[in-house]
Chains A and B, each alone.
Chain A
């Protein structure tokens, strides 16, 4: 840096420009390559999962309907039905939404509208840190605290249950819901609040009648993203779900969501069993695709 020449003749400047130009082009290519990498990964993953997962239905004569609606999963006896897992995944996600969304939404409202700056300064980083905790630690927390609590204090015969999964997932989706909803609420123009307050509406009334409706699409996005988090979570769930193969009929039943079925059995599976686990992945993937589709619809609506 100290040896910058004071004077340059034309030739040198031209050379420097050329070098710059090449550098521009090369970095452009590098960035393109990086961008393509994620697209290629996506295609490879989709291709691989669908190729492996569709094989039993195409080449081995299994029925996809039986796979979706069958209630028995006994790989060693050639029975592959994932209805209990689909139901379990849906129940767990809905349950987590019922607990997690109100808490997350109220936290977001509190942070954006009500909390004094000093309080928000403590809560906001805490929520964000929650997002950074590895999911297996949520599972360990669930296994060490929530499961024994359910057993000892609520008298459940086994703490590994739907309710344990719901609690863990609700906590896990909080950071997503809070962060996205808070941003949406903060983006509501100040004039809305001032107008409402000037008309004599109380601050809380303003929040619920004016601010939240105005931030609706952002809040919906928060909920859908939270849902995606809940339905795809594996490591935390595998420890607290119990992984029983029943269609859950109560909150105290132990359940096996789609994700844990794959994680639990992939280690030992081979042949058709393994392919059926990939097929389970396809179903899970379809759920995520639907969620993303809904999300795209919401954000496009929000834009209008």
Chain B
């Protein structure tokens, strides 16, 4: 516990230093160009990060704002936002109640995760409990789920991956509970290839990687579509959040959030594989 605190404070210090550096360089630029460049400090989730980078790149081109993005994980980003180290925090998980007290949240997009099997697999629907039992090794044969008499081969992402964290959090098991014999593959593409070539296999990948080489499984009878994610019927999804403290948000920060929610920003979100809010 103490060690975790230590890491937390280390991350905090680091991000403070980074933020300070960011301010410095922005100051230099201001002096050099004579213009008034505002630096927007954003930190948090490694899953939201890439999308935020893309949005920032487009946004910076048209506005007099410099956006510093640090991908340090959802929890660290939320802490930074609460402490005012970062103006905006990025989170790929829902806020906890005590976090909601001090933070305003904006859903900028959704991310969906799909459980996939080999196309020949007859199992097309699973409940969340069944998914959990498969990945924790309680169910080890497809015949127990109405499929053929084949042993189940579980394919997971590597420890530390944002998608794996999200999947485990939504399904409700921990890394230690994952069946030990699970194949661990790095990246969505790798999981897809493994599942596509093995009729025993089951894995999970992001929405945008779905194609006919693998068979998507419905969860609780709900098909994995963008509409079902937005209507919150499909449970294997998570919001991409921007969080901020009301008083800390500057005009520039608000403008960036507005830009993300604009049709142009949402188009970029869709392009990079997330599910747009509208």
Contact = CB atoms under 8 A, between A and B. Distances in A.
Interface of A: 60, 72-79, 143, 147-148, 151, 157-160, 238-239, 242-246, 253-254, 256, 264-265, 267-273
A244 B180 contact: yes
Given A60-B3, A74-B159, A148-B197, A238 B174 contact: no
Nearest to A245: B180
Contacts of A74: 159, 174-176
Q: How large is the interface on B (under 10, 10 to 19, 20 to 34, 35 or more residues)?
A: 20 to 34
A41 B206 CA distance: 40
A238 B181 contact: no
Contacts of B184: 242-245, 256, 264
B200 A158 contact: yes
Contacts of B151: 157
Nearest to A268: B160
B194 interface: yes
B183 A158 contact: yes
B158 A265 contact: yes
22 contacts: A74-B175, A76-B160, A76-B174, A77-B175, A77-B176, A78-B3, A157-B150, A158-B153, A158-B200, A158-B201, A159-B198, A160-B194, A244-B180, A254-B183, A264-B186, A265-B160, A267-B160, A268-B46, A268-B161, A268-B162, A270-B72, A273-B160
B181 A246 contact: yes
B71 to A, nearest CB: 10
B176 A143 contact: no
A175 B150 CA distance: 40
Interface of B: 3, 7, 10-11, 46, 72-73, 150-151, 153, 158-162, 165, 174-176, 180-186, 190, 193-194, 197-198, 200-201
Contacts of A147: 197
B197 A264 contact: no
Given A157-B153, A246-B181, A267-B186, A72 B46 contact: no
Contacts of B162: 268
B200 A157 contact: yes
Contact of A265 (B11, B159, B185): B159
B181 to A, nearest CB: 5
Contact of B193 (A143, A254, A273): A143
Contact of B159 (A76, A148, A160, A238): A76
Contact of A272 (B3, B176, B190, B198): B3
B160 A269 contact: yes
Given A60-B3, A77-B174, 14 more contacts: A72-B176, A73-B159, A74-B174, A75-B175, A76-B165, A77-B176, A147-B197, A157-B153, A159-B197, A243-B185, A245-B180, A265-B159, A269-B160, A272-B3
B10 A75 contact: no
A70 to B, nearest CB: 13
Contacts of A148: 197
B150 to A, nearest CB: 8
B197 A151 contact: yes
Nearest to B10: A271
A253 B181 contact: yes
Contacts of B186: 238, 264, 267
A246 B200 CA distance: 19
Contacts of B159: 73-76, 265, 268, 273
A60 B3 CA distance: 8
B158 A268 contact: yes
A262 to B, nearest CB: 11
Contacts of B176: 72, 74, 77, 79
Closest 5 CB pairs between A and B? A268-B160, A243-B184, A242-B183, A74-B176, A76-B175
Contacts of A254: 181, 183
A75 to B, nearest CB: 5
A58 to B, nearest CB: 14
A277 to B, nearest CB: 10
Contacts of A264: 158, 184, 186
Contacts of A77: 174-176
Contacts of B193: 143
A183 B186 CA distance: 40
A209 B43 CA distance: 70
A265 B158 CA distance: 6
Centre residue among A60, A151, A268 by max chain B CB count within 10 A: A268
Given A148-B197, A271-B7, A243 B153 contact: no
A76 B193 CA distance: 26
A244 B159 CA distance: 12
Contact of B183 (A60, A79, A244, A273): A244
Nearest to A72: B176
A267 B150 CA distance: 34
Contacts of A269: 160
A73 B176 CA distance: 8
A73 B183 CA distance: 14
Contacts of B183: 158, 160, 242-244, 254
Nearest to B201: A158
